[in-house]
Structure 1
Amino acid sequence: MTFLPPDSRVEYLDLAGGRVRVLLGGPADAPPFLLVHGGGNDNAAISWYRMFASFGSDHRVIAPELPGFGGTVGIDPLGGPAAQADFLARVMAELGVERAVVAGVSMGGDVVLNLALRHPDLIEGLVLIAPGGLMKRVGNRFTHKAAWWSARLPDALLFPAAALANRFVGAALRAVVHDVSTMPPEVVAEFRREARRPGASRGYQRYNQATLGPHEMRNNLLPVVADITAPALFFHGALDPMVPPEGSRQAAELMPNARLVMVPDCGHWAQLEAHDRFVDEVRAFLSTIPG
């Protein structure tokens, strides 16, 4: 049985030779709120489980799944965030969305930042939850080099290694979330199911291959984020073990119309771990967006 967030429904788009799964909620004529999931074993139903009920009363909530993730099939993973941003622009056009407030978490935040840089006319505002694409390297020089070497493994080794790692999904969740008890049990169960899906995390593996350089990240947007003039809300867990909060802090300072909310006692999945605070902050932000 398909796992769906409360107050959501599924639509499939025929695009790029495959089928894109899109979760939808709210009135079709309401202002669009587009949500972009993260990497790893994420999908739209996991990251945005609580958002359709929270925002569907007055927004058209739209959550597509990128190639290599969730229920999107028949399209090869796209790799880097620029290609994913261009694909997202195609999805928006297919859905008839001319402009939207766009939210992204982790890898999805990197994609959304690229969408704002490459297709600024599509952006009404940005909500960025622990976004990727805002750091020079992974850890220190030695950690970064090890991550780069790991991403360079041939597929014959990389995919079986990832499948083996996905068997330890409980440990992976504890390494991401500060307090697992804050997570809805339904989301934890779906996270486990997604990790066991054939081909799970291949989209994220291609993203890592595209973004990890031998010495530095190839997707570091800090030198160019000042070009993003759309209103932006950064929402980052202060105890995030995956994406350093410093990147969000620097980007919020560089962007001319951005604000940072740093959430104490919160890990990487801040929109799920600190749901009530997230909804309050996003509602206040959306109230400032024209239309």
Structure 2
Amino acid sequence: MPPGAEVGFIEVDGGRVRALTAGEPTAPPIVLIHGGGTDNAAISWYRLIEPLGRTHRVIAVDLPGFGGTTGIPPVGGPWEQADLVARTMAAIGVEGAVAVGVSMGGDVALRLALRHPGVVDGLVLIAPCGLVPILRDRFAHGAAWLTTRLPERLLVALGGFTGRFTRSLMRAVVHDIATLPEPVIEEFAREATAPGASLAFVRYNLATIGRGTMLNYAMDEVASITAPTLFLHGEKDPLVPIDGSRRAAALMPDARLVSVPECGHLAHLEAHDRFLSEVIRFLDGIRR
């Protein structure tokens, strides 16, 4: 459990969304949206809930199929996930918040701003998905699409098998695994070996990887997002190219990109001090 976090559950869609919270209820709210794979709020935001809770009301949710959220089937694509986040915010009376998302969660935060602009006061997007037309190159994209044609049960089983090699997989995602807190690595490994742990991410991939293009490609839409936006992207990100964040930041009317050197896919964990200082400066600007 992240330092400073309290655990609560929110009744939504007949199930219970787990939320890790911190800060005063009357403080400006921040909604944190974790990434894909077998991530959850406790993993992604292990280092951030306590410091952000000093000035804000922090609400870090587990999306359906991840972490401690129960009773809600994994909803698939970022569009449905964004709608679920909006319903969760409404259920706890949060009318507007800064949405912070990483990777898949960055895709969800983008959709939240596009589909529910009235509830988004600002965006912090960490290596967000949804901003590249294909995965790396045509060959890699075609291979990924062919993989999604396999039966869902087999894809989940494959996810469970690869989960046994979590530490090796994480070395391929970050620039230097030594920058990650050991509890984060251990929790990733525990989540990865849980029965059916990869189902939610499998459904996200099924919803977003098309035959020749990414179905969640949002570059043509981002210019309509007027909320202040901060992109943070590791310059050595091996999963999501930084060019997508760079192009989106240039198209959006109130956005800027912070590129983090010697950093991979998880800038909020790998470069925590730099990330926190940039986010606090961004949040202070919104409050002013």
Normalising by the residue count of structure 2, what TM-score does the alignment of the two structures yield?
A: 0.98
Structure 2 match to 1:16: 13
Q: Which amino acid aligns with 2:152?
A: D
Counterpart pick for 1:62 among 51, 55, 59: 59
Counterpart pick for 1:73 among 55, 70, 74: 70
Alpha-carbon distance, 1:54 to partner: 1.2
Residues 1:84 and 2:72 are matched in the alignment: no
Structure 1 match to 2:277: 280
Q: Which amino acid aligns with 1:111?
A: V
Tell me, which stretches of 5 or more residues in structure 2 are unaligned? none
Alpha-carbon distance, 1:28 to partner: 0.9
Q: Structure 2: how far apart are the matches of 1:5 and 1:88? A: 21
Structure 2 match to 1:252: 249
Counterpart pick for 2:27 among 6, 30, 38: 30
Question: Does the aligned pair in 1 maintain the 2:23–2:58 contact within 8 Å?
Answer: yes
Structure 1 match to 2:156: 159
Alpha-carbon distance, 1:17 to partner: 1.9
Structure 2 match to 1:210: 207
Structure 2 match to 1:50: 47
Structure 2 match to 1:201: 198
Q: Structure 2: how far apart are the matches of 1:139 and 1:232? A: 25
Q: Structure 1: how far apart are the matches of 2:233 and 2:152? A: 33
Counterpart pick for 2:268 among 271, 283, 289: 271
Alpha-carbon distance, 1:74 to partner: 1.5
Residues 1:223 and 2:220 are matched in the alignment: yes
Residues 1:241 and 2:233 are matched in the alignment: no
Structure 2 match to 1:118: 115
Structure 1 match to 2:172: 175
Q: For 1:51-74, what per-residue CA distance to the aligned partner results, in whole angstroms no more than 9, with x for missing partners?
A: 111111110010010001111112
Q: For 1:139-171, what per-residue CA distance to the aligned partner results, in whole angstroms no more than 9, with x for missing partners?
A: 111110110111121123212111111111111
Q: Structure 2: how far apart are the matches of 1:187 and 1:265? A: 20
Question: Does the aligned pair in 1 maintain the 2:30–2:98 contact within 8 Å?
Answer: yes
Question: Does the aligned pair in 1 maintain the 2:31–2:58 contact within 8 Å?
Answer: yes
Alpha-carbon distance, 1:14 to partner: 2.0
Q: Which amino acid aligns with 2:134?
A: R
Q: Which amino acid aligns with 2:19?
A: V
Q: Structure 1: how far apart are the matches of 2:23 and 2:172? A: 34
* Sequence identity (%): 57
Q: Structure 2: how far apart are the matches of 1:155 and 1:126? A: 33
The 4+ residue runs of structure 1 with deviation greater than 3 A are none
Q: For 1:187-222, what per-residue CA distance to the aligned partner results, in whole angstroms no more than 9, with x for missing partners?
A: 111111111112212111100000000000000000
Aligned residues: 288
Q: Structure 2: how far apart are the matches of 1:68 and 1:185? A: 24
Alpha-carbon distance, 1:290 to partner: 3.3
Tell me, which stretches of 5 or more residues in structure 1 are unaligned? none
Residues 1:186 and 2:187 are matched in the alignment: no
Normalising by the residue count of structure 1, what TM-score does the alignment of the two structures yield?
A: 0.97
Q: Structure 1: how far apart are the matches of 2:159 and 2:198? A: 8
Q: Please, what is the CA RMSD of the aligned residues? A: 0.9
SS of alignment partner, residue 287 of structure 2: coil
Structure 2 match to 1:7: 4
